[in-house]
Amino acid sequence: MAFVSTTSVLFILFISISGKSIPNSYIENRINLIEREVDMQLGSELVLNDDEKLANEILMHWKQKEIEESFRNPQYFNFSKHYFDYKNDIPKSKVYQIIRGMPKGAVLHVHSSLMLSADRLLNLTYENNLYMCKNEIGDLQFRFSEDIPKWPCHTSWVLLSDLRSLGDATKFDESLKNYFTLFSGSSRGCDKIDINTIWRKFEKISNVISQLIIYRPVTEKFFYEALNEFYNDNIQYIEIRSGLKSLYELNGTVHDKLYMPRLYRDVAERFKRDHPDFVGVKLIVTRHRLKTDEEIRKTINLARQVKQEMPSFLAGFDLVGQEDLGRSLSDILPLLNEAKNDLKYYFHGGETNWYGTSTDENLFDAVLLGSKRIGHAYGLIKHPSLLMAVKQYDIALEVNVVSNAVLGLVHDVRNHPLATYLALGLPVVLSSDDPGVWGADPLSHDFYITFMGVASKRADLRLLKQLAINSIKYSTLDIKNKEALYSVFHTKWDVFIKQVLTLSTNL
Ligand SMILES: *[C@@H]1O[C@H](CO)[C@@H](O)[C@H](O)[C@H]1NC(C)=O
Ligand SMILES: *[C@@H]1O[C@H](CO)[C@@H](O)[C@H](O)[C@H]1NC(C)=O
Ligand SMILES: *[C@@H]1O[C@H](CO)[C@@H](O)[C@H](O)[C@H]1NC(C)=O
Ligand SMILES: [Zn+2]
């Protein structure tokens, strides 16, 4: 209702400024038009209680201050710069500090092997028996082994601990970390390069990390640590996307591909026991979209097996990898159509700027194949009929703003189509895709940048709360667990509001 009072003030000002020269009907129409839009925005249906209203005033005080400063001095406006150039300044923001402490419900779009920060990954390279070598093009290869690995390698296999003790361990670790992240302190080398080049860098990092974390004891530590980082960012539930990899043991034993989902499920159960206010994890099985029909069919069949064995753990199926270069959904249609009654789909769709291409048209197939949610949906803005379909069928859009910025789709987040999705009140959830790769918070950076750089200056606490509620609403939890998640969330929300009230606006 804060909006109503703001517009009423405007109304009075208008009359006194304009005197008789502007008819009252014009002024009334103007107010009605603005109010109609405000009422349409995501979050506008929420009614705040008294404490929340006070917290909202504090939040909006800081939001308006930060935005007005930038509006007057656009040369200092951070969100039109590359994420890497302002990332380290984010913690200074009062709005960020508030958002950081906010319970955010669920993360519904994240690739499990890219969840963990480079610092934590580096920590895993201190595990014993880790060998390293470089291939022809200088990429790292990792292998845990009792003896020198038998695997072919361009350079020779050397124990990583030996390499580290040869010289300056800190320098060694810094250079190793560069293989785990795109972030190197600034945007140098990452801005202004074309989308295929940045994706190549991204996929390289993804390969290096995969090699480190498919050693079974490390997989366990890795996943537990990843859940911990998300939990500490005030996240209560996660739906991870993951390929099914064959994990191995030190003695060379290789597990079958169902071993990995079992291990993920067990680690998630252990994490839940250790943290009773964490509600859990579900799995969306993925396959790379460059694979052949036969390879994709195998993974679909494995996903069916996971569903049979662990029905409450499996959420569904998706295809991953750069959409522009990979196969389109329509290319794989017979397979996907056949399995659509067995598996729920959560397709990536329209993660592209190429309007009218097969990548862009993945959005049509995602809707027609009954995808429960759509990953990114960046190109959806250009498809009026799909915008209506998404609203009508209540298909959630999993929007990942920082990912889109880092992977080169948008250079000034004020131009992100999410602004329109929020204005239209579409079923949006915010997520972070691969936060480990760009050194983002598990979710707080995406929330902060959306709130300050994408959403309207008028958007307030109700938007933030609605986004968190949406993440629960559009999760694939059954009714009982959804209720449990809502209950944990609301308890944490009340504590959060009390915390905000202890902040003074005069700090
Ligand atoms: C932008 O970054 C600068 C530091 O470069 C920081 O002082 C400032 O507060 C930031 N502005 C916003 C709006 O976040
Ligand atoms: C790695 O992380 C664990 C858990 O945080 C910590 O106990 C351990 O000391 C770390 N190891 C190294 C080598 O930093
Ligand atoms: C290999 O190691 C795993 C895990 O330690 C163990 O369960 C398995 O029995 C071992 N296999 C052989 C052939 O030694
Ligand atoms: Zn993704």
Instruction: Output the residue whose Cα is nearest ligand 1's atom 3.
Output: 89
pTM: 0.93
Which residue in 22, 177, 445, 43 sits closest to 3, CA to CA?
43
Cα–Cα distance, 111 to 432 (Å, whole number): 9
Question: Are the beta carbons of 321 and 294 closer than 8 angstroms?
Answer: no
Residue 230, sorted as left (phi over 0), alpha (psi -120 to 50) or beta, turns out to be alpha
Residue numbers annotated as active site:
351, 376
Q: How many angstroms does the Cα of residue 414 sit away from the middle of ligand 1?
A: 16
Cα–Cα distance, 186 to 191 (Å, whole number): 9
- CA angle, 325 as apex, 371 and 298 as ends, to 5°? 55
Cα–Cα distance, 460 to 378 (Å, whole number): 23
Cα–Cα distance, 490 to 338 (Å, whole number): 40
Q: Which residues line ligand 1 (CB under 6 A)?
A: 66, 70, 76, 78, 86, 89, 92-93
Burial class (CB in 10 A: 0-12, 13-18, 19+), 34: middle
Residue 192, sorted as left (phi over 0), alpha (psi -120 to 50) or beta, turns out to be left
Cα–Cα distance, 365 to 369 (Å, whole number): 6
The closest ligand to the CA of 164 turns out to be: 2
Q: Would you give per-residue pLDDT tens digits along the chain (507 residues)? A: 344 444 444 444 444 555 568 888 999 999 999 999 999 999 999 999 999 999 999 999 999 999 999 999 888 889 999 999 999 999 999 999 999 999 999 999 999 999 999 999 999 999 999 999 988 888 899 999 999 998 888 889 999 999 999 999 999 999 999 999 988 777 777 777 788 888 888 899 999 999 999 999 999 999 999 999 999 999 999 999 999 999 999 999 999 999 999 999 999 999 999 999 999 999 999 999 999 999 999 999 999 999 999 999 999 999 998 877 889 999 999 999 999 999 999 999 999 999 999 999 999 999 999 999 999 999 999 999 999 999 999 999 999 999 999 999 999 999 999 999 999 999 999 999 999 999 999 999 999 999 999 999 999 999 999 999 999 999 999 999 999 999 999 999 999 999 999 986 555
- Looking at residue 395, the DSSP 8-state letter turns out to be P
Q: How many angstroms does the Cα of residue 127 sit away from the middle of ligand 2?
A: 10
Residue with structure tokens 């190793």? 176
Residue 126 dihedral angles phi and psi, to the nearest 5°: -85, -5
Q: What is the identity of the amino acid at 6?
A: T
Three-state SS letters, 125-184 = CCCCCEEEEECCCCCEEEEECCCCCCCCCCCCCEEHHHHHHHCCHHHHHHHHHCCCCCCC
The closest ligand to the CA of 199 turns out to be: 4
Please give the sequence-ordered ranges of beta strands (E in DSSP) within 14-73, or none if there are none: none
Q: How many angstroms does the Cα of residue 505 sit away from the middle of ligand 4?
A: 38
Cα–Cα distance, 72 to 65 (Å, whole number): 11
Instruction: Output the residue whose Cα is nearest ligand 2's atom 12.
Output: 123
What would the DSSP string read from start to end of 184-238?
SSSSTTTTTS-HHHHHHHHHHHHHHHHHHHTBHHHHHHHHHHHHHHHHHTT--EE
Instruction: Quote the tokens at residue 26.
Output: 């014009």
pLDDT of 3 reads: 41
From 144, 253, 254, 256, the mutation candidate for ligand 3 (largest count of ligand atoms within 8 A of CB) is 253
Cα–Cα distance, 317 to 285 (Å, whole number): 5
Q: What is the identity of the amino acid at 184?
A: S
Residue 274, CA distances (Å) to 154, 227, 393, 458, 488 in order: 43, 11, 38, 40, 16
What would the DSSP string read from start to end of 377-433?
-GGGGG-HHHHHHHHHTTPEEEE-HHHHHHTTS-SSGGG-THHHHHHTT--EEE--B
Residue with structure tokens 């009614």? 47
Cα–Cα distance, 103 to 226 (Å, whole number): 17
pLDDT of 281 reads: 98
Q: Is 506 in the pocket of ligand 3 (CB under 6 A)?
A: no
Which residue in 128, 123, 130, 126 sits closest to 158, CA to CA?
130
Domains of the chain and any CATH numbers: 1-39 (no CATH), 98-116+214-492 (3.20.20.140), 128-180 (no CATH)
Q: Is 249 in the pocket of ligand 3 (CB under 6 A)?
A: yes
Q: How many angstroms does the Cα of residue 85 sit away from the middle of ligand 1?
A: 10
Which residue in 406, 435, 401 sits closest to 187, CA to CA?
406
Which residue in 438, 378, 469, 420 sits closest to 108, CA to CA?
469
Residue 239 dihedral angles phi and psi, to the nearest 5°: -110, 110
Collapsing DSSP states into helix, strand and coil, what is residue 496? helix
